[in-house]
Structure 1
């Protein structure tokens, strides 16, 4: 863990500090969940700060650790520094106003009940835009950087696409629904579909159990980076062939993208995650079958001739960096 922290610190002090602050927020919010019985839209007031805190701990540390694998210079280093600063500052401000509204026992998202609430909601939209821009800047640096393991590099690239897709998906929640516009309600935009926000929800996540919930797809997307990297790292323990690991990682990323599309489509049709209809189940079955077929093909395909393994690549790099080893041999 100490080594990972050093790598993350080298990659981005800003993002690692952000992760540390968010870890503290998660702990404080956990205490708030225990001692504060106030609710907002049927949910404990400190549940949202807790969830955002945990999410940004994972997000900030993962990006910092990945950036620590790179050796950037010149313009690319400047772009990275600007991107992580924008990302860290905007993320902190976004969560800060969420905490402020939680302390006031007011909804933070979609709330335009008063001028102040509307200002808070507007500022959150601005910060979300900066978070997306900063994330894209970091993604471009990581996309070109690569890692010693081609499967992990593949996971990073596909995971970054999933991450950006998850962020863009969030904008489906901010568009006011026709009935909200007609009634001129205080809530403009919503994460629930076919039901009002704040109804019965799943434990911890709060995702609706009576209607569609667009937060499911958002959650799946923004954590696609961690999921694909963990999959690629797990493969390295039991699949030695680098080409096979790359192919399997691509299959996993494709299946994960399919899940993102599936749960978003399900939510837009007003269905709870826990109560899919026959059409959704059929689509899920088709996705599972396609993934199984693609996985089998990825496993069986032979390694291209002339391709070296990761171990062989590291040995070649060691010989290149230490020519004395060749003379001793």
Structure 2
């Protein structure tokens, strides 16, 4: 029988997060990024366990023998269907980004926005909804997340510019 390393990784990440959480590391933005990253990683890893409970599937192995698989690489859809594109863009450096407090606030807002996206995709998966064909409720939730992040960034920007 094959055992997953997932629970071990989650426990190890929790241990690292606990140790780092008690220590003062670098400056505020770096510390916030590390703490948010570890927290999001643990949550993301725990969502991976949902794939183990998506049912069974009969497939043919390399020798032509029919075998029964438990779980899939996705939740709520067939393997090999639509995926999740990863978009990453780096912004230009601006003078208002130079303060520790400003950067720490932005990292907190972006981490909260990313956590919202993780929760949104988990919600879609638990409703067996396609990632690439969302319903109206999903679109509205995504819009709310984007608006909240944009407002948060706007407030940080305004605070940084008023401090000059």
TM-score under structure 2 normalisation? 0.75
* Counterpart in the other structure of 1:272: 130
Larger radius of gyration: 1
Structure 1 residues 148-202: Cα deviation after superposition (integer angstroms, max 9, x where no partner): 321111111111110110111111111254xx4xxxx822233434444x3x434
Task: Say yes or no: does 1:157 pair with 2:46.
Answer: no
Contact 1:193 1:270 in 2 (8 A): yes
Name segments (4+ residues, structure 1) moved above 6 Å. 234-237
What is the CA distance between 1:261 and its match in structure 2?
Answer: 0.6
How many residues get paired?
151
Whole-Å separation in 1 of the counterparts to 2:110 and 2:41 = 15
Structure 1 residues 40-69: Cα deviation after superposition (integer angstroms, max 9, x where no partner): xxxxxxxxxxxxxxxxxxxxxxxxxxxxxx
What is the CA distance between 1:248 and its match in structure 2?
Answer: 1.3
Q: 1:136 to 1:271 in 2, by over 3 A?
A: same
Whole-Å separation in 2 of the counterparts to 1:146 and 1:173 = 36
Whole-Å separation in 2 of the counterparts to 1:144 and 1:194 = 39
What is the CA distance between 1:254 and its match in structure 2?
Answer: 0.6
Q: 1:193 to 1:167 in 2, by over 3 A?
A: closer
* Counterpart in the other structure of 1:248: 106
* Counterpart in the other structure of 1:188: 70
The runs of 5 or more residues in structure 2 that have no matched partner are 57-66
Give RMSD over aligned pairs. Answer: 3.2
TM-score under structure 1 normalisation? 0.40
- Aligned residue for 1:276, secondary structure, equals coil
The runs of 5 or more residues in structure 1 that have no matched partner are 1-118, 208-215, 221-226, 306-329
Contact 1:248 1:299 in 2 (8 A): no
Whole-Å separation in 2 of the counterparts to 1:249 and 1:176 = 34
- Aligned residue for 2:121, secondary structure, equals helix
Whole-Å separation in 2 of the counterparts to 1:261 and 1:275 = 17
Q: 1:195 to 1:154 in 2, by over 3 A?
A: closer
* Counterpart in the other structure of 1:287: 145
Q: Considering fraction of residues, name the structure with more helix.
A: 1
Whole-Å separation in 1 of the counterparts to 2:43 and 2:148 = 22
Q: 1:176 to 1:272 in 2, by over 3 A?
A: closer
The counterpart of 2:81, out of the listed 192, 198, 201, is 201
Tell me which of the two structures has the higher relative contact order, counting C-alpha pairs closer than 8 angstroms and 6 or more residues apart.
Answer: 2
